[in-house]
Amino acid sequence: MKTLLIGSGGREHAMAWKLKQSPLLSELHIAPGNPGMASLGTCHNVKADDIAGLLALVEDEGIEFVIVGPEAPLVAGLSDWLEPMGIPCFGPSGVAAQLEGSKAYSKRIMEKYNIPTAAYGEFTDAASARAYVEKHGAPIVVKADGLAAGKGVTVAMTKQEALNAIDECFNGKFGEAGEKLVIEEYLDGEELSFFALLDGETALELGSAQDHKRVGEGDTGPNTGGMGTYSPAPVATPAFHAEVMENIVRPMAKAMVAEGAPYRGVLFVGLMATKQGAKVIEFNVRFGDPETQSLLPRIDGDLLPYLHATATGRLAGMKPVQLKPESALCVVYAANGYPDEPLKGTVIGNLDEPPLPGTVIFHAGTTKNKAGEWAANGGRVLGVTGLGATLEQAQANAYAAVSRIHWPEGFYRRDIGWRALKRDAA
């Protein structure tokens, strides 16, 4: 199968690495990809949000299957353009992608179909938003409605913080994304990510992961796209999986069919495990980055048939996805200055050594400089994944691989996995 993978980050490197192992893959094309994954397929210089360019590429290369990494092309309707061309697309329609593209849309669907989530209100003017905060008090959560690169959310521990966040949004801090606000109940519990494949009617679970959003050790400092992950999340027991599938994932598949916007793709459920059970924090319409770098190495066997069956409505006949019993842990190696102003162009040594057993290095923001050396070209530059019989072993393997990389101008958190390991020790 001639396949086009869209995206350029560590997530897409992990997807390309997994797809490359499939005997069903005839050619892998990637748009735009990055130099670190160029050995796995043909990278084309077409950006992930250049819909016209992507459609032309599909025609020119005779692509038979499109797999979308990031949300932007989905929200822009790439899948809808491919449908009349007869090209299956792994990733939902533009309407269904509003589950990520608009927090208000996703909250309305959850409310209508009784999917457990935080109670909320939706606002387009500051006065009523402020009145809601006055009525409900803190802690409370203020969210810009649209895509704000993960920065549009304020978890306000005081009323004043919430009021400030409202003013910032309506004063244009997030542009159009902040013209509408969702304000919601604060959920107390442990946060985790859950992934399932939906082909419309049918849903198959994939697995769980936990991310580390803050830049600094001990979960301190500003939020990032994610500094490290592990899979599985210890809170995600088999009973928890069953609860999430029963109360959230299957009802969502049904809901989207009933809405006339059947969901085809991976549903990334951001969850809070609260005392009252699993509640949805948010939906994403794609795999997580860096969650994928710890989830995909655990998938046993060929992923491509599952992605294709997801896109073509044939999941009902498929066996459950098999996961390896091993744990996986991914450490993100970022450029100094990330997340504000990552330093570009610094040289990264020792990257091409054969990997240590049980480890794999995914490139997210690298380039080759004129001298042919690897150099930093982004904020989150590498994702280093270790597998192991236990999470502790996976962590040891990942950090052993990290310590072989020579990059004085880069940094990483030394405590990825701390929450899960503390739980094991308790």
Under the rule (CB under 6 A), what is the footprint of ligand GLY? 211, 225-226, 284, 288-289, 291
Tell the smallest beta-carbon distance from residue 394 to ligand GLY (Å). Answer: 18
Partners of residue 382 on adjacent β-strands: 333, 363
**179, 259, 282, 409: residue in contact with ligand AMP (rule CB under 6 A):** 282
Q: Which does 187 bind (CB under 5 to 8 A by kind): ligand GLY, ligand AMP, none?
A: ligand AMP
Tell the smallest beta-carbon distance from residue 251 to ligand AMP (Å). Answer: 19
Question: Is residue 141 a contact point for ligand AMP (CB under 6 A)?
Answer: yes
Q: Which does 289 bind (CB under 5 to 8 A by kind): ligand GLY, ligand AMP, none?
A: ligand GLY
Q: What element of type H or E holds 369?
A: none
What is the arrangement of strands in the sheet containing 65-68, beginning at the earlier edge strand? 42-43, 27-32, 2-7, 65-68, 89-90
**Beta carbon nearer to ligand GLY, 10 or 358:** 10
Two tokens, residue 184: 């919601």
**What residues contact residue 223 under an 8 Å CB cut-off, 6+ apart?**
150, 151, 213, 214, 215, 339
**Beta carbon nearer to ligand GLY, 228 or 388:** 228
Options 70-78, 182-190, 291-299, 416-424: segment touching ligand AMP (CB under 6 A): 182-190
Characterize the bridge pairing of strands 153-156 and 347-348: unpaired
**Beta carbon nearer to ligand GLY, 14 or 63:** 14
Could you tell me which of 324, 312, 370 has the C-alpha nearest to residue 345? 370
Handedness of CA 84, 90, 94, 96 (dihedral sign): positive
Partners of residue 363 on adjacent β-strands: 382
Options 27-35, 42-50, 165-173, 179-187: segment touching ligand AMP (CB under 6 A): 179-187
Coil, strand, or helix at residue 117? strand
**Beta carbon nearer to ligand AMP, 185 or 392:** 185
**Beta carbon nearer to ligand AMP, 155 or 257:** 155
Partners of residue 314 on adjacent β-strands: none
**Beta carbon nearer to ligand AMP, 274 or 369:** 274
- Total residues interacting with ligand AMP, rule: CB under 6 A: 14
Q: Which does 191 bind (CB under 5 to 8 A by kind): ligand AMP, ligand GLY, none?
A: ligand AMP
The one-letter amino acid at 409 = E
Q: Which does 288 bind (CB under 5 to 8 A by kind): ligand AMP, ligand GLY, none?
A: ligand GLY
Tell the smallest beta-carbon distance from residue 281 to ligand AMP (Å). Answer: 5
**Residues 239/242/244/245 CA torsion (nearest 10 deg):** 170
Handedness of CA 255, 261, 265, 269 (dihedral sign): negative
Using alpha carbons, list the distances in angstroms from residue 85 to 5, 79, 81, 88. Answer: 17, 10, 7, 9
Tell the smallest beta-carbon distance from residue 269 to ligand AMP (Å). Answer: 11
Handedness of CA 350, 224, 89, 313 (dihedral sign): positive
Tell the smallest beta-carbon distance from residue 262 to ligand AMP (Å). Answer: 24
Could you tell me which of 152, 215, 212 has the C-alpha nearest to residue 342? 215
**191, 201, 219, 243: residue in contact with ligand AMP (rule CB under 6 A):** 191
Contact 179, 185 (CB under 8 A): no
Question: Is residue 184 a contact point for ligand AMP (CB under 6 A)?
Answer: yes
Tell the smallest beta-carbon distance from residue 209 to ligand GLY (Å). Answer: 9
**270, 277, 313, 355: residue in contact with ligand AMP (rule CB under 6 A):** 270
Locus of tokens 């679970």: 205
Q: Which does 121 bind (CB under 5 to 8 A by kind): ligand AMP, ligand GLY, none?
A: none
Tell the smallest beta-carbon distance from residue 138 to ligand AMP (Å). Answer: 12
Which chain residues interact with ligand AMP by CB under 6 A?
118, 141, 143, 150, 153, 155, 184-187, 191, 270, 281-282
